[in-house]
Amino acid sequence: MDHMPAAGRSGGVVSLWDPNIFKVQDSIKHPNFLLSVGVMKGSNKAVNVINVYTPQNVTQKKSLWDVIGGLLGSMSGRWVILGDFNAVRCLEEMMNSKFNKKCASNFNNFIIYNGLREFDMKGMKFTYHNNKGNKHSKIDWVLVCLEVFSEWPVACLRALPRVHSDHRPLVLSCSNKNFGSNPFKFFNSWLDRKDFNEVIKKATDNFHGIEDSDVRLMEKFKRIRDDIKV
């Protein structure tokens, strides 16, 4: 176990691992993240795990992502970056909150420029809910490098129910018992909705894919399904 203490009511991260699976050899501590450097036992593959808590200020967010991007470019091994990024990638990933286009653009650029990927999240659409329950957003992320994404194509990210926090716990399972994304299902009853055409048009017009073509198609279907089910 390792940790970075909080500064007042902000920040603070704790990383725990099973020493029988992951052998930590070094760590890098920053006020807003904890980097655990190690190897996976049995394969001796180098893995770097960054547990991050991103500040609220847009300029500070970009500065932090620039620091992390510098680490990705200077160190070898596979990368997993996870935690509270306090950022969404598009307008549809928040509800009843003000969308900051500059912040979203900075976050998307960080992901694209560093070749990061995200696994499809199941269970819930949002990861954060305020105490009143009227504001929702997807600000918690698990981002991985292309090598990890390709090596575990059936990995599944799930958002679990909230218990003691306003954030939902996220679980990334790389077991083969998960069969990737659910098939896209179309229900004839959807055609009876008066706003059916408008929902489809809005979902597709506002979608901006940045992954490979098959992943973009999967994400587009997911966006349509989620918007219809709202």
CATH number at residue 118: 3.60.10.10
Same domain, yes or no, for 211 and 162?
A: no
Nearest alpha-carbon partner for 49 in 144, 151, 173, 183: 144
Looking at residue 63, its pLDDT comes to 96
- Low-confidence residues of the chain, pLDDT below 50? 178-180
Same domain, yes or no, for 176 and 228?
A: no
**What is the C-alpha to C-alpha distance for residues 64 and 47, in angstroms, rounded to an integer?**
21
Q: Domain boundary at 180, 195, 219, which?
A: 180
How many domains, the chain? 2
Same domain, yes or no, for 171 and 186?
A: no
Same domain, yes or no, for 197 and 91?
A: no
Sole residue written with tokens 């598009």: 90
Same domain, yes or no, for 137 and 199?
A: no
Contact 51, 34 (CB under 8 A): yes
**What is the C-alpha to C-alpha distance for residues 100 and 107, in angstroms, rounded to an integer?**
11
Same domain, yes or no, for 112 and 219?
A: no
Same domain, yes or no, for 34 and 127?
A: yes
**Residues of the chain above pLDDT 70, percent:** 85
**What is the C-alpha to C-alpha distance for residues 207 and 201, in angstroms, rounded to an integer?**
10
Same domain, yes or no, for 197 and 128?
A: no
Same domain, yes or no, for 81 and 122?
A: yes
Looking at residue 179, its pLDDT comes to 43
Same domain, yes or no, for 26 and 99?
A: yes
Show Cβ contacts of residue 185 under 8 Å, excluding neighbours closer than 6 positions. 225
Q: Is 211 exposed, middle or buried (0-12, 13-18, 19+ CB in 10 A)?
A: middle
Domain that holds residue 171: 2-180
**CA neighbours closer than 13 Å in the CB half-sphere of residue 110:** 26
Same domain, yes or no, for 43 and 123?
A: yes
Looking at residue 152, its pLDDT comes to 84
Tokens of 117: 């990927």
Show Cβ contacts of residue 193 under 8 Å, excluding neighbours closer than 6 positions. 199, 228
Looking at residue 54, its pLDDT comes to 93
Same domain, yes or no, for 118 and 38?
A: yes
**Looking at the whole model, is its pTM more than 0.85?**
no
